[in-house]
Chain A
Amino acid sequence: MSNRIPNHVLDQLITDPESVPREAWETLIAADDAHAQWSDALDRRRALDAHAALTRGRPWLARVFRLARRARRRLPRLLAAPTVRLTSGPPLASLSGALGPSDEPAPPLTIDWSRASHSVPVAVGDVVRITSDPALTAWYTTSTATAPLPQLGWKVEAGDCPVLITLLIDAHPNAATLDDALDSASAITTVVLSFPDPENEGP
């Protein structure tokens, strides 16, 4: 039998090991999937910390993340949604004969509507394109504006990032505000376009 430790206890073991009763540590070492439990909990804590880092000093971004999350909570369980893909890379990447390997576009990201958020690293000059679908609408949010994105694409310029793109299915096409669009949507997710942080690159 697997000794599952509640997620909030695992989080406490990670963030403040001394404060947790020793029984929790005993349960952990006796679990046959202790490493998997620990690793999942660490991923969850790092995702929370990464989100806090992304929104620190960016109230405009925090506000839209929360709006989108609240609207998602009101939705019934999602049964089906169109397949939407997002590509990003240099604008001329399709002319691959003229370009080196470093200019190749990243593989397309398939939007997972069960997730609240996706993250896409971009560089200045990259073009982001979202596959079109009649039910799909998109809004963008930067530090200065929130507005519809009818062309379903974004050219990344210096000082742009992060940009938050909110993707919606079945939202009212003439919604005047993002709030209105979120209220009428049947599926919602977000995509953050951000420059990779060199300090946070892996080993």
Chain B
Amino acid sequence: MASNDADIPITDWSRVGRAAFFQEHRDEILNLVDLAFTDWIDQGNSLAPFGFRGDDPVDDAVAFVQNRFCEGELTEELIDEDCRSTRLFTKVVFWFQQKVGQKGLKACLRRAQQGQRAEQLTPRHAPPPARSDAEAKVLFRQVGRQLAAVLRDLASRTCPDLVGHWLEASQAWRSVLLQTSDSGAPPNPKMSAAWRSKRGADALLRYLILGAALLDPLAQDARAVLEAALFSNADNPPTYRAPDKSIAEQLGLPGSRAAKSLRQQHTTAVLQAAVDLATQPAPFDQPLWRWVAQHSLPLSILEVHGIRDADLKARLRELKEHKSEGGLA
């Protein structure tokens, strides 16, 4: 999630520059630090392991941040690019690290979160079924690693909302694949079923594209269009796609209509490849992504991308029927 307009950029990281920045935005900064540390406490955590005690540990922490920011050794390279702004003052763990150092951080965090951990360790569901043997455990772990790596890629190249849609849409098949329990968590009440279905379908497709490397076989111009449309960190609901106009400008296309046409044409090609993966014998090294493809291509994906292709529709419907009959391995 990129830094946004709310954040005031910090450009001069010299000690004098930081002190001047602090003086200029003193009340806004102190309020943000106070809010972030209060949130930390409100979530059931402690500040004591980091040495913030006294009558009001949050006040102690705020005073430390002020002193560290204005007087300490802070260089731009130490700070994540997205946090080189007032957002830095909402990142409590960064300041914890400044207080206790990287070495002590892990132990302090563990002690600070004991209240939260007690809640976390309470079993809320039946434990997952026992695995048959150590080999299966290793296999599940490997699968988990692969899925997680692609989700990180999706998060870096799209937006947090889309990751959330993927987590919701993939919950049932993830629990099967990873042999975890499916809580059957209630759907997000803020969104309608139709909205969730479409956004879930879109997120599943984009994840599959990254996981199965479906852009790789495409020609360079097709890949450029889909990279620009689907993987450019667009955080604009409901499509979470770069607008066709900006794709046209970025790629030097004649206009937004041309960009839209190319986007739909290439998305159709990728969808065809995804259905191929789901329905045809997989290369020996791709059984995981074949399985994921079989569970990631609902019919609503056509509506999401405005694709009217009778052949593709028929293939997606056939895939759905096979899946519900248990005909897909």
Contacts and interface: CB of A to CB of B under 8 A. Distances in A.
In this complex, the interface size class of chain B, counting residues with CB under 8 Å from chain A, is 35 or more
A2 B182 CA distance: 10
Contact of B164 (A29, A35, A51, A52): A35
Given A22-B148, A26-B144, A32-B175, A8 B92 contact: yes
In this complex, the interface size class of chain A, counting residues with CB under 8 Å from chain B, is 35 or more
Contacts of B152: 17-18, 20, 22, 25
A1 B123 CA distance: 5
A52 B144 contact: no
A38 to B, nearest CB: 5
Contacts of B1: 14-15, 45
Contacts, number: 168
B185 A29 contact: no
Contact of A66 (B5, B31, B40, B93): B31
The residue among A7, A25, A29 with the most chain B CB atoms within 10 A of its own CB is A29
B145 A22 contact: yes
A53 B5 contact: yes
Contacts of B31: 55, 62-63, 65-66
B131 to A, nearest CB: 13
B148 A26 contact: yes
B120 A4 contact: yes
Q: Secondary structure at chain A's binding surface: helix, strand, loop or mixed?
A: helix
A172 interface: no
A173 B109 CA distance: 43
A67 B249 CA distance: 48
Interface in B82-129: 82-83, 86-87, 90-93, 109, 113, 116, 119-121, 123-125, 127
B127 A38 contact: no
A80 interface: no
Interface of A: 1-2, 4, 6-8, 11-20, 22, 25-26, 28-36, 38-39, 42, 44-45, 48-53, 55-60, 62-63, 65-66, 69-70, 73-74, 116, 202-203
26 contacts: A4-B120, A7-B43, A8-B92, A8-B93, A8-B109, A15-B91, A17-B155, A29-B144, A29-B151, A30-B178, A32-B175, A33-B185, A35-B171, A38-B160, A38-B163, A42-B161, A44-B39, A52-B90, A56-B6, A56-B86, A58-B28, A59-B25, A66-B34, A66-B35, A70-B34, A73-B58
